[in-house]
Amino acid sequence: MGFTPDFLDEIRNRLPVSEIVGRKVRLVRKGREHTGLCPFHNEKTPSFTVNDDKGFYHCFGCGAHGDVINFVLETEGLSFPETVERLAAQAGLQIPESKPEDRHKTKVKKTLYDVMEAAAHWFESQLLAQVGTEGLNYIKKRGLTKQTVKHFRLGFAPNEKTAFKNAMLARAEFTEQMLIEAGMLISPEDGGESYDRFRGRIMFPITDRQGRVVAFGGRALSQNAKAKYLNSPETPLFHKGRLLYNLSGARKAAFEKGRLLVAEGYMDVIALSQAGFPEAVAPLGTAVTEDQIREMWRLAPEPMMCFDGDKAGRRAAIRVVERSLALLKPGYSLKFVYLPEGEDPDSFVSSYGSQSFETLLSEGVPLAKVLWADLIEGVDFDTPEQRAGLEQKISRILSEIRDTKIRGYYESDFGRRLKNLFGSEFVPEINLHDQGPAVGAKENQRSYPIKSFSKNKGYGQRQGETSIGNLHQTEIGKTAKLSVKDRERLIILTVLEHPWLLERHEELFAIFEFESLELDKVRNEIIRIASRDSDLEKETLRHHLSENGLGQVVDTVYRQGVLTAQRFIGPKSSAEETEETWLHSVELFHLEKIEKDIAILGSKDLNEEEFARLQALLNEQSASNKRISDILGKDT
């Protein structure tokens, strides 16, 4: 689909701003404008205006400004394509389709949506029929009301091999192949007859952001079932790592309450919703993914992760912390709510009620505290060696934070925590609080002159460590003579030619900061493809990238980068040489950026925040030099 400027203008022309805004804001007409309380900040006196003639809204209090498209984007948590699709439907416009293959995919998806909607209806009917008695009894035992069952469209799959298949094929519009493609039937590899994927299970429809059924989760009633919970497989409609259970249902409540609750399972979400917490979602049977964290942040800046009160729940929390570090950005983080031992959200609200759960939520723990507690748990720090080991461990973990400003704050915060932990004997390498204020420092703001550092020797460089100048003399370091974009192409090209690098260095590749937006897109797509295929071949990888619209960028990488990289990553180079070259190039790039930032800070007097950032950069410079020396096999 394509959204041309003319098409977007047509949407704006057909939909008055007051009509769209008026669904969320009580507007009062005053002359040619409408006024009301701003939905983007708390105010008692209206400063929010809507002008249909000019086609925009504006708040004189907080500065919010935009048209109908901006308003839906900001208040509904939809993506841009989803926003345009919704508004186009309201305006009576057909979304333009750009390519024949796009039209074919759209047609296939529409048909599969029909299949999944029909399946949801059929499962609902089976729950209320005689065959669903066992399932209905289970639901009643769990304390779910009729309204809740209807709201979440719970159903039942009879314990028969082809009951669903026969019911669907009785309808002329569906074929066996469509049911297989939708993930509802299993087709044996030996060529036998296909059969129902879900049998003898309570059925939980899984919807996309627009509320369309795209998959199912099934809870087995039999104690002998191989899997207690079974989810739909990946299909053209369903990618479990990108969606959240109850995403569409929680969106409105999340915006209204300004928070999002994340539980571990379907029943937790349903029980929370019934107890008055409709802003709850859950991952789909797997650990929380990066895409799901980004999806959560579209609904709330600090989602609250509600984990079971056992060791498994605490381990799950740490996995989420580790997964989120590279994604952290200003204003966006996570909080963690730990339930009592042996409790999950479902059992807790059933036993103690909504108010007690609200109290638990008020005691949510910030991500930084969860990470710190995990880092020091069971760690001895009685000796200098143990303290150095803990400090190194912390430095390594915090290096995963990609946002430099956030990483600086974490390093400063954890430095203070270390000082408190070790007591007065601990003397950090750069002690912020032992520096005197510079002449002319403003009141309540401490300034730290940088002149005490030797610019000739390099900030923070220690005896025996490698410097940028020395690195450029090595064979691998000569890649630094290339332009920034060519060096970024070299990093991409090496992975394209040797996808096996991702098996050990996927995280390093994922956090590398590309200046080129095109290459950044290629990197993100490579990571996504590799997450699905653990034994990736270069031909397959390049084919997938071309299919996803990145073929031209990849071709450019090969045309402009292969001659430069041939001696490093060509067929004559060994796997060991290739790996060393690639790691060195990535680390060299990283080190240069660090030293540029240090040079900038070194040119001025620093306040406390800037001085903390300098300390973090010096530590990272030292760590980067150490990693490069290790790669080159040199002693530090």
Specify whether the backbone of 191 is left (phi greater than 0), alpha (psi in -120 to 50) or beta.
left
pLDDT of residue 604: 65
Tokens of 557: 């990488």
pLDDT of residue 481: 57
- CA torsion, points 63, 68, 74, 76, in degrees to nearest 10? 150
Do 5-91 and 247-373 have matching folds?
Answer: no
Measured in degrees and rounded to the nearest 5, phi and psi for residue 6 equal -65, -40
- In terms of Cα–Cα distance, which of 205, 115, 112 is closest to 155? 205
Measured in degrees and rounded to the nearest 5, phi and psi for residue 378 equal 70, 15
Amino acid at 147: Q
User: Which residue, chain included where needed, has tokens 């297989």?
Assistant: 180
CA 465 to chain centroid, in Å, comes to: 36
Tokens of 69: 């498209």
Gyration radius (Cα) of the chain, Å? 28
> Per residue in 592-605, is it b (16+ CB within 10 Å) or e — as a string?
bebbebbeebeeeb
d(C-alpha 232, C-alpha 284), whole Å:
10
Measured in degrees and rounded to the nearest 5, phi and psi for residue 182 equal -80, -5
Which residues in the chain land under pLDDT 70?
A: 1-2, 5-6, 32, 53, 97-110, 423-482, 507, 531-535, 560-573, 603-606, 608-609, 628-636
Contacts of 577 (CB under 8 A, 6+ apart): 568
User: Which residue, chain included where needed, has tokens 């270069």?
Assistant: 538
User: DSSP states of 299-325 as a string?
Assistant: T-SS-EEEEEESHHHHHHHHHHHHHHG
pLDDT of residue 433: 32
pLDDT tens-digit series, residues 254-312: 878 889 999 989 999 999 999 999 999 999 877 899 989 988 988 888 999 998 777 78
Report the 10 Å Cβ neighbour count for 293: 20
SS3 label, residue 225: coil
Output the CATH code of domain 5-91.
3.90.580.10
d(C-alpha 161, C-alpha 562), whole Å:
55
Report the 10 Å Cβ neighbour count for 229: 17
- Residues 121-125: contacts with CB within 8 Å, 24+ apart? 122/155, 122/164, 122/167, 122/168, 123/155, 123/156, 123/157, 123/203, 123/205, 123/216, 124/153, 124/154, 124/155, 125/155
Contact call for residues 48 and 35 (beta carbons, < 8 A): yes
Contact call for residues 160 and 178 (beta carbons, < 8 A): no
d(C-alpha 336, C-alpha 324), whole Å:
13
pLDDT of residue 634: 47
d(C-alpha 121, C-alpha 217), whole Å:
15
CATH 3.30.420.40 matches 100-231 = no
d(C-alpha 111, C-alpha 114), whole Å:
5
Domain limits, the chain = 5-91, 100-231, 247-373, 378-428, 468-632
User: Which residue, chain included where needed, has tokens 């490093």?
Assistant: 568
Measured in degrees and rounded to the nearest 5, phi and psi for residue 329 equal -145, 160
Tokens of 26: 């009580």
Lay out the sheet containing 261-262: strands in order across. 280-281, 261-262, 304-309, 335-341, 365-366
Output the CATH code of domain 468-632.
1.10.860
Contact call for residues 466 and 628 (beta carbons, < 8 A): yes
CA 437 to chain centroid, in Å, comes to: 41
Report the 10 Å Cβ neighbour count for 76: 18
Quote the strand ranges of 100-188, DSSP E. 155-157, 185-186
Contacts of 620 (CB under 8 A, 6+ apart): 395, 399, 594
Distances (CA, A) of 524 to 1, 172, 457, 528: 22, 42, 38, 6
Element (H, E) at 372: helix 367-376
The helix-helix angle for 384-398 and 367-376 (nearest 10°) equals 140
CA torsion sign for 181, 182, 186, 192 is: negative
d(C-alpha 407, C-alpha 617), whole Å:
10
User: Which residue, chain included where needed, has tokens 């002449």?
Assistant: 439
pLDDT of residue 499: 86
> Per residue in 379-388, is it b (16+ CB within 10 Å) or e — as a string?
eebeeeeebe
d(C-alpha 586, C-alpha 487), whole Å:
9
d(C-alpha 469, C-alpha 436), whole Å:
34
Quote the strand ranges of 249-310, DSSP E. 261-262, 280-281, 304-309
**Which ranges of 383-467 does DSSP label H, i.e. alpha helix?**
384-398, 404-422
pLDDT of residue 305: 96
Measured in degrees and rounded to the nearest 5, phi and psi for residue 513 equal -90, 105
- CA torsion, points 519, 524, 527, 532, in degrees to nearest 10? -130
Under DSSP, the state recorded for 481 is G
- CA torsion, points 62, 65, 69, 74, in degrees to nearest 10? -10
CATH 3.30.9.10 matches 247-373 = no
Contact call for residues 95 and 85 (beta carbons, < 8 A): yes
pTM of the full structure: 0.57
User: Which residue, chain included where needed, has tokens 């002693």?
Assistant: 635
